[in-house]
Structure 1
Amino acid sequence: MSGEFWQTGLLGLCAGLLISVVTAPVGVSGAVFLLPVQLSVLGVPSPAVTPTNLLFNVVAGPGALIRFRRTGQLTGPLARLLLAGTVPGVVVGAVIRVFALPGPRVFKLLVAAFLLPLGLWLCLRTVRPSAGPPAADPSRSSVSLLALGVGVVGGIYGVGGGSLLGPILVGRGMPVAVVAPAALAATFVTSIVGAATYAVLSLLTPGDIAPDWTLGLLCGLGGLMGGYLGARLQPRLPEKALRLLLGGLAIAVALLYLAG
Structure 2
Amino acid sequence: MDWTVWAGLAAGLLIAMVTAPVGVSGAVFLLPVHLSVFGVPNPAITPTNLLFNVVAGPGALWRYRRDGALRGGLARRLVAGTLPGVVLGAAIRVFALPGPGVFRLLIAALLLPLGVWLCVRTLAPAPVRAGAAAEPSPAALTTLAVAVGVVGGIYGIGGGSLLGPILAARGLPMARVAPAALAATFATSIVGAGAYALLSLIGGDVAPSWWLGLACGLGGLVGGYLGARLQPRLPETTLRLLLGGLAAVLGTFYAAQTLA
2:179 to 178, 181, 184: 181
Q: Indicate conservation of the 8 Å contact 2:51/2:214, yes or no.
A: yes
CA RMSD after TM alignment: 1.4
The answer for the alignment partner of 1:252 in structure 2 is 249
- The 5-angstrom pairing of residues 93-242 of structure 1 reads 93-101=89-97, 103-132=99-128, 133-135=130-132, 136-207=134-205, 209-242=206-239
State the alpha-carbon separation in 1 of the partners of residues 93 and 156 from structure 2.
10
Larger deviation, residues 151-160 vs 161-170: 151-160
State the alpha-carbon separation in 2 of the partners of residues 233 and 175 from structure 1.
16
CA-to-aligned-CA distance 1:78-132 (integer Å, 9 cap, x gap): 1111111110011111111122226442343333233323322322222233425
Q: 1:36 deviation in Å?
A: 1.4
Which blocks of at least 5 consecutive residues in structure 2 are unaligned? none
State the alpha-carbon separation in 2 of the partners of residues 140 and 103 from structure 1.
35
Q: 1:214 deviation in Å?
A: 1.1
Q: 1:88 to 1:175 in 2, by over 3 A?
A: same
Q: After TM superposition, where is structure 1 displaced by more than 6 Å over at least 4 residues in a row?
A: none
The answer for the alignment partner of 1:6 in structure 2 is 2
The answer for the alignment partner of 1:36 in structure 2 is 32
The answer for the alignment partner of 1:65 in structure 2 is 61
Task: Provide the TM-score with structure 1 as the length reference.
Answer: 0.93
Q: 1:154 deviation in Å?
A: 1.2
Q: 1:88 to 1:36 in 2, by over 3 A?
A: same
State the alpha-carbon separation in 1 of the partners of residues 41 and 103 from structure 2.
17
Q: Indicate conservation of the 8 Å contact 1:30/1:160, yes or no.
A: no
2:203 counterpart letter in structure 1: T
Q: 1:130 to 1:111 in 2, by over 3 A?
A: farther
State the alpha-carbon separation in 2 of the partners of residues 78 and 204 from structure 1.
36
Q: 1:250 deviation in Å?
A: 1.3
Task: Provide the TM-score with structure 2 as the length reference.
Answer: 0.93
CA-to-aligned-CA distance 1:189-225 (integer Å, 9 cap, x gap): 1000000111111122332x11111111100000000
The answer for the alignment partner of 2:51 in structure 1 is 55
Which blocks of at least 5 consecutive residues in structure 1 are unaligned? none
How many equivalent residue pairs? 255
Residue identity (%):
71
State the alpha-carbon separation in 2 of the partners of residues 117 and 50 from structure 1.
23
State the alpha-carbon separation in 2 of the partners of residues 157 and 118 from structure 1.
16
Q: Indicate conservation of the 8 Å contact 1:89/1:148, yes or no.
A: yes
CA-to-aligned-CA distance 1:35-64 (integer Å, 9 cap, x gap): 111111111121111101000000000000
2:79 counterpart letter in structure 1: L
1:226 counterpart letter in structure 2: G
